[in-house]
Amino acid sequence: MSGQSPVDPDPGEARRTHLALLEREAELAAVLETAVDGIVTIDARGIVQSVNAAVERIFGYSADELIGQNISKLMPSPYREQHDAHIERYLRTGQARIIGIGREVEGRRKDGSVFPLDLAVSEVAFPGRRLFTGILRDISERRRMEEQARMRLRETAHASRLLELGEMTSGIAHEINQPLAAITSFAAACLRMLDSETPDRDLLTDTLEQIRNQGTRAGEIVQRMRRLTRKEEGARVPVDLNAALEEVLVLVAHEVRSGGIRVTRDFDPSLPPARADLVQIEQVMLNLARNAIEAMASEPEEARILGLRTYCAGPDEVTVEVSDTGCGLDEDARARIFDTFYTTKSSGVGVGLSISRTIVEAHGGRLRVASEPGRGATFTMRLAAEARA
């Protein structure tokens, strides 16, 4: 019985398969070379195996200068010195610092300049071999645009603060005149006592103490004004929102008194601090308080109530509410109240609430309004709470 000879493979089919593989490989190479993002592969020792054209453009090195080198060549200190240890730890424990996570890091160009990068790293396992693929994006331009936006916000917020203070000039002058008038009166009393043959030492001491207190009061008002006129960006620090509201009430004290407005406080004494720029957050509160006061101008005096409330909306969020008993807002006004140049005031310019929302959102927070016609308005500002130790 004769055996059946094996069928010889079709040389034409093998050639077509080979050509298809070459075509797929060329397509993949073209995709990698034309990608906007940098793509680099390294082995388990951190040695560069391949880079695309975007990596050459981003870092200023040619492919020949990078392939065969440790990837730490593209990193500034201290990342350069830590990189190999991170890979060793990942291979040993599976604990990832960047691999499979993605994060912002810093890169180092051939000319030594350091710049920000978005980096995503993934692992590809082959039989007996492990490769890591990094996708890199130079975010220098994005950071530059973000900084320009922050600068524009600082400039606009500063202009808005100056406008607020300009509108409050009469009230603030009155607040300063009160302690100055008291100082003048107490000083005259001291002079009269000194002219007497037997001055009352205790009364004289008490009167001088009053002069000091009134001087301190006037100085504090001036300091608050100076802080609001600062142009530079303040640092993000833990801010006591209850105390900040009290500071704002000092600045609007004359408007509150002259308007016959009753202030109600419902402050959470255990409120955690918010991490914020104190000057900017006080600016938001001042704007909300003044808007509330102005909204009640046409209401009967006995019905004018400025409500201030603080509370925790959640474990990681703090809230400030400023409410009034004014005429309220209709649906159209609610929809447009935060738009630049929109105002319900006859003499307003409509930038305060727009700037306030921008400031709050730049802090990662939210500013909202709830209102109905004839039932007043409540503005709610929510900010992230300072992480507890």
Question: Based on the domain organization, do 123 and 168 belong to the same domain?
Answer: no
Task: Tell me: do 69 and 121 sit in the same domain.
Answer: yes
Structural contact between residues 242 and 267, judged by C-beta atoms closer than 8 angstroms: yes
58/191 same-domain check? no
- Whole-angstrom distance, CA of residue 261 vs CA of residue 324: 10
Q: Are residues 278 and 165 in the same domain?
A: yes
| Count of structural domains, the chain | 2
In tens, the pLDDT along 368-387 reads 999 888 888 999 999 998 87
The verdict on whether omega for the bond into residue 6 sits within 30 degrees of 0, i.e. cis, is no
Are 114 and 258 part of one and the same domain?
Answer: no
Domain boundary among 120, 138, 156: 138
Predicted pLDDT at 135: 87
CA separation for the pair 340, 46 (Å, rounded): 52
* pLDDT band at residue 128 using 50, 70 and 90 as cut-offs: confident
Express each pLDDT in 170-211 by its tens digit. 767 777 877 888 888 888 888 888 888 788 888 888 889 888
195 and 74 in one domain?
no
Domain match, 70 and 216 both: no
Same domain, 354 and 214: yes
Confidence of residue 17 (pLDDT cuts 50, 70, 90): low
CA distance 355 to 339: 9
Residue 221 lies in a domain: yes
Tokens of 271: 């409120």
Question: Is the predicted pLDDT of residue 130 greater than 70, yes or no?
Answer: yes
pTM attached to this predicted model: 0.58
Residue 7 lies in a domain: no
The CA distance from 182 to 253, in Å, is: 17
What mean pLDDT is predicted for residues 155-163? 73
CATH number at residue 223: 3.30.565.10
Kindly report which listed range (48-57, 191-200, 217-226, 317-326) carries the lowest average pLDDT score. 217-226
pLDDT of residue 252: 86
Q: Are residues 102 and 158 in the same domain?
A: no
Residue 89 lies in a domain: yes
Question: What is the residue-averaged pLDDT of the chain?
Answer: 80
Distance from the first to the final alpha carbon of the chain: 88
How does residue 340 score in pLDDT terms, banded at 50, 70 and 90? low
pLDDT at 352 over 50: yes
Q: Is residue 159 over pLDDT 70?
A: yes
Tokens 């195996």, located at residue: 49
Of 107, 138, 169, the residue that ends a domain is 138
Give the domain-ending residue among 123, 138, 153.
138
Q: What local confidence, expressed as pLDDT, does residue 349 receive?
A: 43
User: Could you tell me the residue range of the domain that residue 377 belongs to?
Assistant: 145-384
H or E element in which residue 50 lies: strand 48-51
2 located within any domain: no
- Specify the CATH number for the domain of residue 22: 3.30.450.20
Q: Tell me, yes or no, whether 282 and 182 share the same domain.
A: yes
**Other C-beta atoms lying within 10 Å of the C-beta of residue 3:** 5
64 and 162 belong to one structural domain: no
% of the chain with per-residue pLDDT over 70: 78
pLDDT at residue 39 greater than cutoff 80: yes
* Residue 34 within a domain: yes
Evaluate whether 58 touches 138 at the Cβ level (below 8 Å): yes
Question: CA angle 278-356-223, nearest 5°?
Answer: 35
**How are beta strands 262-266 and 305-314 bridged, if at all?**
parallel
53 within domain boundaries: yes
Average pLDDT over residues 158-175: 72
User: 3-class DSSP state for residue 279?
Assistant: helix
Our CA angle for 331, 337, 338, nearest 5°, is: 135
Confidence label for 99 from pLDDT (cuts 50, 70 and 90): low
Position 72 in a domain: yes
Q: Is residue 3 part of a domain?
A: no
- Span 288-336, pLDDT tens digits: 998 899 889 888 988 999 999 999 987 789 999 999 998 888 888 888 8
Check whether residue 270 and residue 326 sit in a common domain: yes
Question: Which are the contacts of 46, defined by CB distance < 8 A and separation ≥ 6?
Answer: 70, 71, 72, 83, 84, 87
Report how far Cα 302 is from the mean position of its chain's Cα atoms.
Answer: 40
Q: Give 94 or 150, the one with higher predicted confidence.
A: 150
